[in-house]
Structure 1
């Protein structure tokens, strides 16, 4: 009876369990469980683990913390897979823990560094392959030396192994490790070489950990990468992890004898830290020396980080989006631990590669699901031959290791960029300054403004090469020649523009533009172009200050006249009532006097501010080239610079305000809203670009500044003069065609006219002239004259009155503005059609008229056709 009751209860429990019918598979997690006490070990299998955080058991900065947090991430990934019906349906995933370093011993937490390759290969690998046959895949965060044997044994047994910290290049050999793959970028040696090459360094020294797989592999790869970039390795020093004073003295003598400035340290984190802490003792610290590592390391909370300030090393690219996603994982792990993880920042969490082990686990399970085989077949290891690294190469998986899709290259390594940081004295505040491409072969992003080098400098130190090349812009190099040519072209353009304005000052178009103000704008462009000549040659303090003053004078000479004349036009044409002549004259005088006063005030502020700021020439070393650039002396007061910024900004704001107010001026000939908006846009962009380049200066910075100033000034000159020049010249040529150009032409015309009078006969009919205002479609039409070629830049919309004219059989359309009339002879009005509420009239000119809608457009055409019919009917009569 009791047995029957037990069977019934068991059946009921199975019926209530929604996953009771699922097939079980197991994922193995290999890590340094020898650093965690209170575990129970059966050979390499570790049990009695708890997810709850206990400070007496777990040391965040030790191997116990590394293993503990990684295990929580593995459990999070397994739970995600078990709760997602699209991943391995009908399968329940479990976890088994394996130690690769034996049973617990207290020293393992801080002293273990992978010296257990024999145990891992003989015991751990055997247990996974032969004893625990429910394990069909393994994830781990082992040292490279430890994983060397076990990785090959698992590959031979066709058990996939995903690693998160095993970074030796050995494992990229898919002939030996076809089932081994990684979710991090195993390209640190290539990336370091790319960074050294980006700095244009030509010689380095290498210190590597010779009793370690990672040290050997990194040295081997680094030698190849540096050789490909033609970077000389002056010395190679191999040290044991626990190197003594004699080894340190040998290293010190070698480095000083070679006078090396760039030193690469390759090895495990503890080895890298030990070597770096000897810098001061060896007198190899300071602004002359740059230390670069291939590995990161955590420091104790009480560690004096100033001893390692300025050390360069690789790191995970902590983009803002990626950090937020990893923060979610950190919160998940904290919930499992029932304790807020005592990490100093999210950066420490990322540096421990916890996100990598999560991605390893979930990618492995997604890959298993991709096989689409029977769960029982999967659990019995009957499809292991299909589980090499290519199964996981492209799963369309987005995880925590990278903000994009996580894919593997042909060596089984994740295609993720490598970032570089410079250590600071504050934990978690290291400076990220460079980034490689996904292959890690070249630098694609580099922030030159960051002060990453020892001595709080952003200037790349010399590598100690004997030959230092002085560089400067002159007529002996292409940059100097280009600057001079551009400056001369600009000066000639400014003078030619001013001469053109003066010659055609009687033109209605030039009169409408206000000649004195336009000449001042040409003068402002002239100042900006002249400033470019001061970039040629080695600058002095006077030259540095003159460069800036000329540009500021040019800026004021352009903006102040432009603002004053448009405010005057706004006062004159911005309302319906007319102005008296006396009021107009007084307003003109007031606006021009205000402009002169503003110009004098701005010039005075600029001169005093520049004098106080004291720009001086400064020599900068860039690789083996030195150049001189202008820099501002460090000032205790920021007032002069703030005053200069405020006064310049006020001019810019005034320009924008004037542009907004000018929109009320309806006469297109007097409306310069578009020109003011473009000038404000050009000057604003120029300021931003020049400031950005000043923050990341190099020997081409001044040349780029010259190019930007020239482009901006030319754009402003073209904006203010281009359209007017085209209109004036078009009118000028039209007049030449319309009127006799010589006495002979005049005589011939008079003769023809006399002949026509003498031959007049009363029997001949007089040709009838008629005209008609075309106002049914619109009272005032909006139109533009379409131009060809570069003239398209100066097309502008205008307002006028359209009318139809006829004389005998000749018919034409005129559009009349306040300044002039535009007339086109029409042969066949029936070919005109409405397209997108516009009508296009073609003849000697090409005019596009824009109407309110298609109905108004058709009404205009009906009005035109009606006028033509009336004329034709009268002619017939």
Structure 2
């Protein structure tokens, strides 16, 4: 391909992206633009969708002449036999990823998925098909393996750093022994493994390492975890998970057995949220005041000027649109900015690529799409 730094033609400026989310999980009343299913309302999914649409609208309304078409596709298609087994639907996610590409060969890239546990499967499919795949929220360390995921990149930091964060705090406090409870898959497991690695030869003993299968509320051996905490007299406990509900369930289960609360400290990488419907179910009417001795260390996006501006626009849109944009504690819900950044970064990278390769006529052509590896999208200026 010739290097010409040419101005993209109108045809080259038309980009079709797929937004690949578990739409079957979320109520239609919150996002009429998407193919939302009837099962439940999930602010996280709605936020990812709305943030991507916000980025698309900004690009399409700019003076660049770029037009982005957004295809929404349900990553839970085909519907699984057991809709509640959402965390371990990787096989179905692989089928859905293949169906997306077969149904929409015009896509130039994909944005989405939410859980690391399912993305490990769909990420392999998109990489095998050589389709750029941007992850807005997944933290598992596995996606740093570019031999396995050569076309996957993400807009949030991985969880590998969390172990060192817990270690530094506990060393500062002079703690010598701590118990670890970690989920057995996904980013929660990656965070747990980072704790094990960081604490090795640190002088702080992991008195017991316990794993649970999520969701914690249905894990049959939770009684064993409680008995082990009691056996080692755990005064300091670390929970690593990939959601806010599991830490709440485990903490309140321990609290009711005097294994959490006064005289004990529980560290978490996800904060139990009073805005979650399950929070009061697990903790009762005094849930908030009983959340005592909890320390949350969670990696979050930096407060850059771009992030501040995104938050300002998000809150403004939420006010204009009758609180339909998910907001938690005065900020966009969870990692919703990651979806916005995925769109902006993907489009900027593609336009830079086109400008330097004048012979390109369509970004969706397999021979062109296969050249769009993650390095194409690094250090892209999000000027549009």
Does the TM-score normalized on the shorter chain lie above 0.5?
Answer: yes
1:394 corresponds in structure 2 to: 379
Q: Which residue matches 1:140?
A: 112
> Following the alignment from structure 1 to structure 2, what is the Cα–Cα distance between the partners of residues 326 and 112?
34
Change in CA separation of 1:230 and 1:113 when aligned onto 2, cut-off 3 Å: farther
The equivalences for 1:536-551 within 5 A come to: none
Determine helix, strand or coil for the equivalent of 2:261: coil
1:432-581 → structure 2 map (5 Å cutoff): none
Query: How many Å apart are 1:340 and its aligned residue?
Result: 3.0
Decide which of 7, 12, 20 is 1:30's aligned counterpart: 20
Residue segments in structure 2 that go unaligned for 5+ positions in a row: 1-8, 281-286
Partner of residue 382, structure 1: 367
| Cα distance between partner residues in 2 of 1:245 and 1:149 | 23
In the other structure, the counterpart of 1:162 is 134
Partner of 2:178 in structure 1?
A: 204
1:150 pairs with 2:122: yes
- 2:212/2:219 contact within 8 Å kept: no
Rounded Cα–Cα distance in structure 2 between residues aligned with 1:330 and 1:38: 20
Match of 1:95 among 70, 77, 85: 70
1:231 maps to 2:207: no
Distance in 2 (alpha carbons) for counterparts of 1:169 and 1:301: 27
Local SS of the residue matching 2:194: helix
For 1:383 and 1:21, locate their aligned partners in 2 and report how far apart those are by CA, in whole Å: 14
Name the structure where helix makes up a greater proportion of residues.
1
Shift, 1:140, TM fit: 0.8
Cα shift at 1:22:
6.8
In structure 2, C-alpha distance between the alignment counterparts of 1:127 and 1:246, rounded to whole Å = 35
Find the residue that maps to 2:168 and give its secondary structure: helix
Q: Which residue of 1 aligns with 2:5?
A: none
Distance 1:228 1:386 in 2: 43
Are residue 274 (structure 1) and residue 249 (structure 2) matched? yes
Are the aligned partners of 1:25 and 1:93 in contact in 2 as well (CA < 8 Å)?
yes
Please report the TM-score for the alignment, with normalisation by the length of structure 1: 0.37
Q: Conserved in 2, the CA contact under 8 Å of 1:34 and 1:103?
A: no
Q: Deviations over 1:457-491 (max 9, x none)?
A: xxxxxxxxxxxxxxxxxxxxxxxxxxxxxxxxxxx
Distance 2:270 2:16 in 1: 32
Inter-partner Cα distance in structure 1 for 2:168 and 2:179: 16
TM superposition shift of 1:258: 1.8
- Asked if 1:130 is matched to 2:102, the reply is yes
Q: What is the CA-CA distance between 1:25 and the residue it aligns to? A: 2.4
Tell me the SS of whatever aligns to 2:342: helix
2:337 to 332, 342, 355: 355
Higher Cα Rg, which structure? 1
Secondary structure, counterpart of 1:386 in structure 2: coil
Are 1:250 and 2:228 matched, yes or no?
Answer: no
CA deviations 1:395-429 (Å, max 9, x no partner) are 24489xxxxxxxxxxxxxxxxxxxxxxxxxxxxxx
| Residue ranges of structure 1 left out of the alignment (5+ in a row) | 1-18, 40-48, 400-877
2:284 is the counterpart of 1:284: no
Distance (whole Å) between structure 1 residues aligned to residue 322 and residue 217 of structure 2 = 39
Alpha-carbon offset, residue 179 of structure 1: 1.5
Q: Is the 8 A contact 1:201 1:231 kept in 2?
A: yes
Tell me the residue number matched to 1:307: 290
Q: Provide the rounded CA distance (Å) in 1 between the counterparts of 2:101 and 2:327.
A: 39
Shift of residue 206, structure 1, vs aligned partner = 0.8
SS in 1 for 2:191: helix
Distance 2:322 2:92 in 1: 34
In the alignment of these two chains, the number of paired residues is: 357
Displacement of 1:201 in angstroms is 2.5
Offset at residue 92 of structure 1 (A): 2.3
Q: Structure 1: how far apart are the matches of 2:195 and 2:296?
A: 14
Contact 1:329 1:355 in 2 (8 A): no
Is the CA contact (8 Å cut-off) linking 2:167 and 2:198 kept in structure 1? yes
Matched, 1:82 2:60: yes
Whole-Å separation in 2 of the counterparts to 1:245 and 1:148: 23
Rounded Cα–Cα distance in structure 2 between residues aligned with 1:322 and 1:191: 25
Paired position in structure 1 for 2:47: 69
CA RMSD of aligned residues (A): 3.4
Q: Which has the higher contact order (CA 8 A, sep 6+)?
A: 2
For the pair 1:220 / 2:193, whether they are aligned, the reply is yes
Deviation at 1:101, TM superposition (A): 1.8
Question: In 2, Cα distance between the equivalents of 1:159 and 1:117?
Answer: 18
Question: CA shift at 1:70, angstroms?
Answer: 1.6
Post-superposition offset of 1:322: 6.7
Label 1:319 to 1:216 Cα distance change in 2 as closer, same or farther (>3 A).
closer
Deviation at 1:193, TM superposition (A): 3.2
Relative to structure 1, is the Cα distance of residues 278 and 346 closer, same or farther in structure 2, using a 3 angstrom cutoff? closer
Matched position secondary structure for 2:119: helix
Deviates more, 1:355-364 or 1:184-193: 184-193
Of 146, 150, 154, the match for 1:174: 146
Name the structure 2 match of 1:115.
88
In 2, Cα distance between equivalents of 1:205 and 1:102: 39
Distance 1:221 1:104, change over 3 A: same
Mark the CA change 1:147 to 1:297 in structure 2 (over 3 Å): closer, same or farther.
farther
Q: SS of 2:361's equivalent?
A: helix
Task: Write out aligned runs for 1:354-753 (5 A).
Answer: 354-371=336-353, 372=355, 373-374=357-358, 376-397=361-382
Paired residue secondary structure (1:383): helix
The C-alpha deviation readout for 1:27-71, integer Å capped at 9, x for no partner, is: 1111110123569xxxxxxxxx7249x9x9796xx42x3222221
Output the CA distance in 1 between the equivalents of 2:11 and 2:369.
Answer: 23
Residue equivalent to 2:234: 260
For each residue in 1:303-344, what CA deviation from the matched residue of structure 2 results, as whole angstroms up to 9, or x when unmatched?
332232432223426749677423323146437x83233756
Change (3 A) 1:74 1:342: closer
Distance 1:330 1:306, change over 3 A: same
Please give the alpha-carbon distance, in whole angstroms, between the structure 1 residues aligned to 2:98 and 2:220.
42
Structure 2 contact 13–67 (Cα < 8 Å) conserved: yes
Superposition pairs for residues 856-867 of structure 1, below 5 Å?
none
CA–CA distance in structure 2, aligned partners of residues 385 and 231 of structure 1: 47
> Offset at 1:222?
2.0
Per-residue deviation, residues 750-781 of structure 1 (Å, max 9, x unmatched): xxxxxxxxxxxxxxxxxxxxxxxxxxxxxxxx
